[in-house]
């Protein structure tokens, strides 16, 4: 496993791939976690209190718009974590870095929970707004639901196959198949009329959709959710690396 690339003068140059070495990864994350964990907790608490207690400017949806503070970050995380799994799976398949497969494996339950949270909070937002908890004819809702099933399938595949190498490769291929639904869950509203609004935040025709009083706490919650994801992912990956070590020791024992 390449840990350093060589510069023109022959000296070793630090490379990002050295973190694919489990020992290096454990050392780095062991140093980062004590700092990032409290930061994630504080940011999440501040964001949630801001979302629930702040006086909001007049909005066509009234108080219901507060659901946006949890639904939009949850949906964004559900889709972006899948995108991260696609990249990790590709790196795992192409460069054969075992830590890449472990990253995808560790991210899957977190992404599944975020996707489920997005589906549930979306239903609670949709019921009073559209008059329907769910619409099986809506492309964006269905893409999000299928993406959630891909998460479950990915987790089930890892659990079903005993050999970690075969499991990682098959799960990576399944993950790549699901990429189309990650794309559709995010962009289908742009080219298909759906019950779900086209966009919650971005400007349409130069007109901003949300006031700064909504936008700023939403950004705080975006950052908080990324930090929470990072912490949970690092802990899960460290657990996976230790679990592999336990397995190796058991094999050595015979």
Partner 1 sequence: MVAKLFTASYWAMDGWGAYIWPAYGITLALLIGLTVRILLRNQAVRRELTQAEARRAQIKTKQGETKK
> What does the binding site for partner 1 look like in residue numbers (CB under 8 A)?
48, 52-54, 62-64, 66-67, 70-71, 74, 109-110, 113, 116-117, 120-121, 124-125, 127-128, 228, 232, 235-236, 238-239, 242-243, 245-246, 249-250, 252-253
The CB-of-109 to partner 1 minimum distance in angstroms stands at 7
Give the whole-angstrom CA distance, residue 168 versus residue 158. 7
The CB-of-236 to partner 1 minimum distance in angstroms stands at 5
Task: Give the residue with the Cβ less far from partner 1, 8 or 55.
Answer: 55
Give the whole-angstrom CA distance, residue 30 versus residue 72. 31
Task: Give the residue with the Cβ less far from partner 1, 75 or 210.
Answer: 75
Task: Give the residue with the Cβ less far from partner 1, 115 or 139.
Answer: 115
Task: Give the residue with the Cβ less far from partner 1, 18 or 59.
Answer: 59
The CB-of-117 to partner 1 minimum distance in angstroms stands at 4
Task: Give the residue with the Cβ less far from partner 1, 183 or 226.
Answer: 226
The CB-of-153 to partner 1 minimum distance in angstroms stands at 18
Give the whole-angstrom CA distance, residue 121 versus residue 69. 10
The CB-of-249 to partner 1 minimum distance in angstroms stands at 4
Task: Give the residue with the Cβ less far from partner 1, 133 or 177.
Answer: 133
The CB-of-133 to partner 1 minimum distance in angstroms stands at 10
């Amino acid at each position: 496993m390449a840990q350093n690339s060589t510069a023109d003068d022959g000296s070793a140059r630090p490379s990002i791939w050295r973190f694919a070495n489990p020992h290096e990864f454990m050392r780095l994350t062991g140093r980062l976690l004590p700092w990032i964990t409290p930061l994630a907790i504080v940011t999440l608490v501040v964001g949630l209190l801001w979302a629930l207690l702040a006086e909001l400017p007049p909005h066509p949806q009234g108080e219901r718009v507060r659901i946006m503070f949890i639904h939009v970050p949850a949906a964004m995380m559900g889709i972006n974590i899948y995108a991260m799994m696609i990249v990790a799976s590709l790196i795992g398949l192409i460069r054969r870095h075992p830590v890449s497969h472990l990253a995808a494996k560790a991210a899957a339950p977190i992404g599944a929970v975020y996707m489920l949270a997005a589906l549930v909070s979306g239903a609670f937002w949709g019921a009073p707004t559209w008059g329907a908890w769910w619409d099986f004819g809506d492309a964006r809702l269905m893409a999000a639901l299928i993406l959630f099933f891909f998460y479950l399938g990915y987790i089930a595949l890892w659990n079903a196959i005993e050999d970690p190498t075969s499991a990682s490769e098959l799960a990576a291929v399944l993950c790549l198949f699901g990429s189309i639904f990650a794309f559709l869950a995010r962009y289908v509203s742009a080219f298909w009329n759906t019950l779900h609004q086209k966009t919650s935040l971005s400007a349409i025709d130069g007109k901003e959709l949300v006031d700064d009083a909504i936008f700023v706490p939403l950004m705080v919650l975006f950052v908080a959710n990324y930090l929470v994801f990072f912490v949970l992912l690092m802990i899960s990956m460290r657990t996976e690396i230790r679990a592999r070590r336990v397995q190796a020791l058991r094999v050595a024992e015979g």
